[in-house]
């Protein structure tokens, strides 16, 4: 069975979060909303590297710059010069699980309807997407993409036809939209941010001088000099206008909230604080728990950049084994020439190298955040052996992934997960490590036990706090177009 499994696609087998969002309502004349949003997107780049965009409301006129690529690639001086210093701006960085990167799904999306215009940017996944999409199409709706943001925009616009204001339309839409979403809206006179009733994806609000900002993670506020106010609560809508800061709650509430635990393990930046818990401290605790459960005698502990490093420091402290740098990550890889597996394989080979001077002749413990398909772990172990390591022990700061995620992390089916095909011992043999250990589910739940929100561990346990999709949406027409 192990030999047959070698044919795993050699893509970068790490999970990816869907997106990062930002918004600003500017009350200070000396602040530049475009420059601040641009800087904020750099702080969210880890949440999406495939497209970026900014929409600005300047005196009621909406202008947008968005394109495929990293923040630095999209926002050239020429591109930024097209955006005026408006009172309200929102920004977005995107990750997509779709192999074909369609520009129509780039965000923010600007929608014009009978009450005016809105710009929308969202992070997450609507689990009743197929049902709502079919309902809207039967009513004559025409979609330009398969993005959650476009669907949300349609729902909000349709609800606005039966309400007195946009705020009420958004609250009514939150009752209809199931699943995970943290969203910002640039409206004609106000900035709106809202979070699904479970709170799967993070969203917080801060203050910069007399202006307000909303972001996926608090690390953004530090980078732009803003003050963190608080997290936006599950099922809460924040509205910021000329009168200040307003809070509303959706009518529907969840029996149990469900922030994704993987935010602490991998997705979020370590300098963020999410729902009351420092991401850095959560990862450090994961490393300490790993040592209690998987004690190994070794000469050095190292982490796989970036999310494995803090857990490795925790393991080193608990074990007394020296922490050292085992890998060097190339952070300046641009677009890679080539296609298909060849491109992905070369990208995997060039983004990480082993530090031979540190590991040669040593027994090394490597800490990583996860194993998905196994190809990256196999490559990491080989790097260490080729650098002269005497022994290579791989430890993972999360449990084995055994189930899909339906709420914004790119885990679409069980077939892509190595832990559903092989035992831990078989995985160890597959990746070539001397030993392999995972953090237990009980310990994982403890790394963020002081969070002011319940946590979702469905991808590890198979138990979800929210309803999972009954059907999966397939755009049959898009498939025909792609075949041509």
CB-CB contact of 56 with 75 (8 Å): no
* CA–CA distance, 146 with 218 (Å, rounded to integer): 29
From 19, 219, 302, 405, active-site residue = 19
CB 136 within 8 A of CB 160: no
* List of residues 6+ apart from 476 with CB closer than 8 A: none
Query: How far is it, in rounded angstroms, from Cα 22 to Cα 91?
Result: 5
- 19 tagged catalytic: yes
Q: Answer for the pair 352, 330: CB distance below 8 angstroms, yes or no.
A: yes
Q: Which of 178, 118, 123, 176 is nearest to 149 (CA)?
A: 123
The number of residues making up the chain comes to 484
Which tokens sit at 128? 């009743």
* Residues recognised as catalytic: 19
């Amino acid at each position: 069975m192990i030999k047959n499994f070698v044919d795993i696609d050699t893509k970068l087998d790490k999970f990816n979060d869907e997106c990062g969002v930002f918004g600003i309502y500017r009350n200070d004349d000396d602040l530049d909303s475009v420059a601040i949003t641009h800087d904020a997107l750099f702080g969210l780049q880890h949440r999406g590297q495939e497209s970026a965009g900014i929409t600005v409301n300047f005196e009621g006129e909406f202008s947008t710059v968005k394109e495929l690529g990293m923040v630095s690639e999209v926002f050239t001086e020429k591109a930024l010069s097209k955006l005026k210093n408006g009172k309200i701006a929102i920004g977005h960085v995107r990750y997509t699980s779709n192999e074909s990167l369609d520009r129509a799904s780039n965000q923010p999306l600007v929608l014009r309807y009978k009450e005016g215009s809105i710009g929308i940017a969202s992070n997450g996944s609507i689990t009743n997407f197929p049902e709502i999409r079919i309902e809207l199409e039967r009513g004559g709706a025409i979609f330009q993409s398969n993005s959650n943001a476009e669907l949300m925009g349609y729902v909000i616009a349709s609800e606005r036809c039966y309400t007195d204001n946009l705020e009420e339309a958004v609250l009514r839409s939150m009752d209809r939209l199931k699943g995970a979403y943290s969203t910002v809206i640039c409206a004609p006179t106000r900035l709106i941010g809202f979070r699904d009733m479970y709170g799967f994806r993070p969203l917080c609000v801060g203050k910069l001088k007399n202006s307000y900002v909303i972001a996926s993670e608090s690390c953004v506020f530090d980078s732009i000099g803003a003050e963190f106010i608080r997290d936006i609560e599950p099922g809460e809508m924040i509205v910021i206008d000329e009168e200040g800061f307003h809070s509303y709650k959706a009518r529907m509430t969840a029996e149990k909230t469900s922030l994704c635990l993987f935010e602490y393990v991998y997705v979020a930046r370590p300098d963020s604080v999410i729902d009351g818990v420092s991401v850095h401290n959560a990862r450090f605790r994961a490393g300490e728990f790993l040592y209690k459960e998987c004690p190994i005698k070794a000469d050095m502990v190292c982490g796989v950049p970036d999310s494995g490093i803090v857990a490795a420091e925790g393991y080193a402290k608990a074990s007394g084994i020296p922490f050292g740098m085992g890998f060097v990550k190339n952070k300046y890889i641009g677009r890679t020439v080539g296609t298909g597996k060849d491109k992905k394989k070369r990208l995997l080979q060039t983004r990480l190298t082993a530090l031979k001077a540190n590991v040669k002749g040593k027994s090394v413990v490597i800490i990583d955040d996860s194993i998905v398909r196994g190809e990256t772990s196999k490559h990491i172990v080989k790097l260490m052996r080729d650098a002269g390591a005497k022994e290579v022990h791989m430890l993972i700061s999360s449990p084995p992934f055994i189930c899909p995620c339906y709420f914004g992390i790119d885990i679409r089916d069980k077939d892509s997960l190595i832990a559903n095909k092989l035992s831990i011992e078989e995985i160890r043999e597959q990746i070539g490590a001397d030993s392999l250990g995972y953090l237990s589910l009980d310990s994982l739940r403890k790394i963020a036990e002081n969070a002011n929100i319940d946590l979702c561990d469905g991808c590890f346990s198979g138990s979800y706090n929210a309803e999972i999709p009954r059907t999966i949406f397939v755009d049959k027409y898009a498939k025909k177009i792609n075949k041509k």
